[in-house]
């Protein structure tokens, strides 16, 4: 990921429609699985500026939270999040012992790795999870949707649900906005653009797009979407 992307994320994560909507999607899908779980230890993989980890901590009331990211540019923002259990590390070489965590989240991280490293990352995540632990993965969907934003954030590949294995609950997200985004991405690809999509939007548009994603988050508790801009899996590690 380009260094300037971390600054853009830091400035917009709290209020940009995409981040707000995806937090609602995460809450809708992950929340029911955490209802009966107590004293959780959470690991956020590729935690970026730390905003998502801080949100997970506060929203789900998880006291014991950890995060890793490979970028020193991301680490520069960690102290603003009141997080002190973060480390510079790669998702395919985790600095933790076997079976340490009850929950791991991985938001748009695996897509930046080549296939060999992605496979190693999944093995490493599996290693550090306890039996019965949950894993929530969200990745950009469809290789044909690759565009300028993918260049800006260092995308290696996009995924379909078929690509993501060991599924407990799988769905696509950002379905309602799919038909609006697809032409934009294809045009960006034809133009050879390398511009990021992480940029401010007019308030009315930000509110409209955010409302669409929040509606989708509500529906995800009842239906599984057949396509969308993001592929999401919720998996459970086998119990011994």
Q: What digits encode the pLDDT tens for the residues 72-88?
A: 999 999 988 888 899 99
Considering only CA atoms, which of 130, 154, 116 is closest in space to residue 1? 154
Q: Is the pLDDT of residue 135 over 60?
A: yes
Percentage above 90 pLDDT, the chain = 39
Give CA–CA dist 121/110, Å, rounded. 8
Write out pLDDT tens, residues 157-195: 776 767 765 433 545 554 444 434 444 444 444 445 445
Write out pLDDT tens, residues 140-165: 876 655 666 566 655 667 767 677 65
Which residues sit opposite 89 in a β-bridge? Answer: none
Assign 50 a pLDDT band (cuts: 50, 70, 90): very high
The stretch 34-56 carries a mean pLDDT of 94
Is the four-CA dihedral 16, 17, 22, 27 of positive or negative sign?
positive
CATH architecture type of domain 3-236: 3-Layer(aba) Sandwich (3.40)
CB-based burial of residue 14 (10 Å sphere; 0-12 exposed, 13-18 middle, 19+ buried)?
exposed
H helix count then E strand count, the chain:
8, 7
Average pLDDT, the chain: 79
pTM across the whole model: 0.76
């Amino acid at each position: 990921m380009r260094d300037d992307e971390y600054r853009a994320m830091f400035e917009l994560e709290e209020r940009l429609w995409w981040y707000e909507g995806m937090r609602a999607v995460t809450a809708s899908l992950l929340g029911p699985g955490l209802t009966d779980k107590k004293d959780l230890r959470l690991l956020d993989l590729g935690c970026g500026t730390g905003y998502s980890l801080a949100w997970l901590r506060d929203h789900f009331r998880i006291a014991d939270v950890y995060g890793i990211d490979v970028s020193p540019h991301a680490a520069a923002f960690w102290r603003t999040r009141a997080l002190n259990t973060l480390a510079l590390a790669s998702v395919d070489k985790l600095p933790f012992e076997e079976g340490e965590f009850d929950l791991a989240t991985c938001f748009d991280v695996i897509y930046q790795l080549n296939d060999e490293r992605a496979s190693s990352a999944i093995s490493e995540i599996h290693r550090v999870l306890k039996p019965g632990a949950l894993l929530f993965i969200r990745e950009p969907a469809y290789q044909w949707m690759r565009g300028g934003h993918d260049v800006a954030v260092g995308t290696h590949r996009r995924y379909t649900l078929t690509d993501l294995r060991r599924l407990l609950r799988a769905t696509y997200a950002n379905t309602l906005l799919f038909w609006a985004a697809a032409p934009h991405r294809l045009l960006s690809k034809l133009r050879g653009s390398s511009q990021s999509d992480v940029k401010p939007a007019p308030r009315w548009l930000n509110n409209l797009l955010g409302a669409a994603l929040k509606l989708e988050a509500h529906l995800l508790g009842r239906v599984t979407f057949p396509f969308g801009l993001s592929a999401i899996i919720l998996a459970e590690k086998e119990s011994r």
